[in-house]
Structure 1
Amino acid sequence: MWQGVIPAVTTKFTPEDTLDFKEMQRCFQYLMDAGCDGLIACGSLGEGPFLSHAERIDVLKLSKEVCGSKPALLTVAEASSKEACALAEKGARAGADGLMVVPSTIYHTNHQETVANLRAIAAAADLPVMIYSNRIAYRVDVTTDMLEELADDARFVAVKESSDDIRRSTEIINRLGDRYDLFTGVDNLAFEALTAGAKGWVAGLVVAFPHETVAIYKLIQAGRYAEALTIYRWFRPLLDLDVSSYLVQNIKLVEAMVIESNERVRLPRQPLQGEVRSRAEAVVRAALATRPVLPQLA
């Protein structure tokens, strides 16, 4: 159902801490014009949890407007099943093409609880679901055994695999074949996952470098691995900025430096300062100074 590069977009704010729809529209359209294959709104490790449900639905609606016929997904990542189901229902009513669902964010659910929670959220929205498995961030691992158990529900169509173990991608494919559309959710494992059989990339740094991200994906799909690897090796220091507790500030700094957006974040986050900021700026400057010329793509 889903494949390709689907950015997890950043949320833009005005100086008054309200949603900046004009800037989001500009940034989202830039991604679609570069060849991205959809958008995911209100990411769980981004600022989605810092938004009210109403704000999240507004970001989703804008994403859907920009995506057109391509999928716009809403992230559902709530502490309780009740709140998750409520948000899932709101997303369905607002026209979401699907959901990206984190099984649990506060309480560390066991196997039975994880499966039951995912089933409840899928039933509440009755939409296609991308299961977001990230045992590093959330300490809840959606294992291959769980995926096999959930495979009897056709609403579960995809997996964002973020276990940080590249072997998991092969394990899922070996066990379940093409039952799920397998996406990599770790920027600095993208080449490895895509060459191992992942169909797509839920990307972060794509918001500032969409042409390079799309080029890596398309080159791999065309079997042009050496060309893709050259771009990926250049990209790696930037991609590492996505694997950080400061990923939101890092990515927004990159957007400010590369596409002239802004760094506004919602408290308690604050823009990068001091040595952390200097290191990130140095990575961006080095990348811009050596930015590759991209090959011709079909």
Structure 2
Amino acid sequence: MARFEGVYVAIVTPFTKDFEVDYKRLHELAEWLISQGVHGLVPAGSLGEYASLTAEERAKVVETVIKAAAGKVPVAVGSGAPSTQQAVGWVRHAKEAGAVGVMALPPINYKPLEHEIIAHYEALASVGLPIIVYNNPHDYKTDLTPDLLAKLAKIDNVVAVKEFSGDVRRMHEILEKTDLEVMVGVDNLAVEGPLVGVTGWIAGVPNALPKEGVELFNLARAGKVAEAMALYRRMLPLYRYDASPQLVQAIKYMLELAGFPVGPTRPPRLPLPQADYAAIREAFQAAAGGR
């Protein structure tokens, strides 16, 4: 049985109008997502704006989500940081706070050599929490290829990969070459992934439309292709925003449209042009229209 199975929402971090972290709203959002049927939560990822948080804020965000989850669903914590030492510190904090695992980027400040990548993950693994390796070659300089993942899979506690390359062929190859659990990393492969054997999805847009995300993933895993595709085609215009650099602004606006406002993004992320919001609103109304 997969350790990280089903739909894990990469939860956003709510802010007040003055850009302070709104921990009360974060707790409410986590509870609401759980009530809507999501299988797990991932705080302090890119969608959670981890890079804009102070160390104190980040720790409290993680602790707030774990407290809100209250053991009802597992929490896997983002560990991205500029140095291996800092990342190890966030893995330790996640373990102490009660997380079941971490979602771990490779070194992020420059293009590392293979032995540096391996050493980085060995250091993270030494803490003793299960690790979801996070491959995001679009936003970072490293591409964790299937062959490199096969080497990382030999490290104790490296058990899964969030695959964000956007190439469904990668999923096939990872499943062939490793024993890692594969998790869809980008929303617009949410059907293709489970159809090829993926067991999890670290999701963005399901912050705002969680029931639809869970239903879609379950339909695809069950092989109910016609039903899945009918829902997927409705959701795809929204899901494509998850692959955009402006995904945080877009998804926070979707939450507002869903009746669950979570405040602004923290600079340097600024509001989008009005034409973008109009396009998101149109796509959201079409996606949510089948409720």
Q: How high is the TM-score relative to the length of structure 1?
A: 0.92
**Residues 7 and 45 of structure 1: is their aligned pair in 2 closer, same or farther, counting only changes over 3 Å?**
closer
- Structure 2: which amino acid aligns with 1:118? Y
State the distance in 1 between where 2:251 and 2:111 align.
28
Given the alignment of the two structures, is residue 160 of structure 1 paired with residue 162 of structure 2, yes or no?
yes
Q: Which residue of 1 aligns with 2:221?
A: 221
Matches within 5 A, 1:18-37: 18-37=20-39
Report SS of the residue matched to 2:182. strand
Distance 2:207 2:219 in 1: 19
**Residue in 1 aligned with 2:86?**
83
Match of 1:259, SS? coil
For 1:68 and 1:180, locate their aligned partners in 2 and report how far apart those are by CA, in whole Å.
27
Letter in structure 2 aligned against 1:157 = V
Residue in structure 2 matching 1:129, options 128, 131, 144: 131
| Per-residue Cα deviation, 1:198-219 (whole angstroms, up to 9, x for no partner) | 0011000001100100001111
Task: Give distance in 1, aligned partners of 2:187 and 2:66.
Answer: 24
User: Identity of aligned pairs, percent?
Assistant: 34
Whole-Å Cα distance in 2 between the matches of residues 97 and 53 of structure 1?
Answer: 21
Match of 1:54 in 2: 56
Identify the residue that residue 249 of structure 2 maps to in structure 1.
249
Deviations 1:117-142 (A, max 9, x none): 1111221x321110001111112011
Could you tell me which residue of structure 1 aligns to residue 8 of structure 2?
Answer: 6
The 5-angstrom pairing of residues 34-113 of structure 1 reads 34-69=36-71, 70-113=73-116
Query: CA contact under 8 A between 1:241 and 1:250: conserved in structure 2?
Result: yes
Cα distance between partner residues in 2 of 1:115 and 1:45: 25
Q: Would you say the 8 A contact 1:53–1:87 is kept in 2?
A: no
Letter in 2 for 1:71: P
Give the Cα separation in 1 of the matches to 2:222 and 2:274. 43
Gaps in structure 2 of 5+ consecutive residues? none
Mapped partners of 1:165, 1:75: distance in 2: 23
Instruction: Mark the CA change 1:12 to 1:45 in structure 2 (over 3 Å): closer, same or farther.
Output: closer
The superposition leaves residues 75-125 of structure 1 with CA deviations (integer Å, 9 ceiling, x where unpaired) of 0111211221222222222222211000022211121111111111221x3
Q: Is the 8 A contact 1:41 1:56 kept in 2?
A: no
Shift of 1:283: 2.0
Q: How much has 1:245 moved relative to structure 2? A: 1.3
Aligned length: 288
Residue 292 of structure 1 corresponds to which residue in structure 2? 290
1:45, distance to aligned residue in structure 2 (A): 5.0
Moved over 4 A (4+): none
Q: Secondary structure at the match of 1:135?
A: coil
- Aligned-partner Cα distance in 1 for 2:230–2:286: 16
Aligned partner of 2:119: which letter? A
Code of the aligned partner of 2:124 = I
Tell me the secondary structure at the aligned position of residue 138 of structure 2.
helix
Cα RMSD of the aligned pairs, angstroms, is 1.5
| Displacement after TM superposition at 1:46 (Å) | 4.2
Structure 1, unmatched stretches of 5+, are 294-298
AA matched with 2:52 = F
Instruction: Give how far 1:230 is off.
Output: 0.7
Give the counterpart letter for 2:54 in structure 1.
S
* Residue of structure 2 equivalent to 1:236: 236
TM-score by length of structure 2 reads 0.94
Per the alignment, residue 258 of structure 1 pairs with: 258
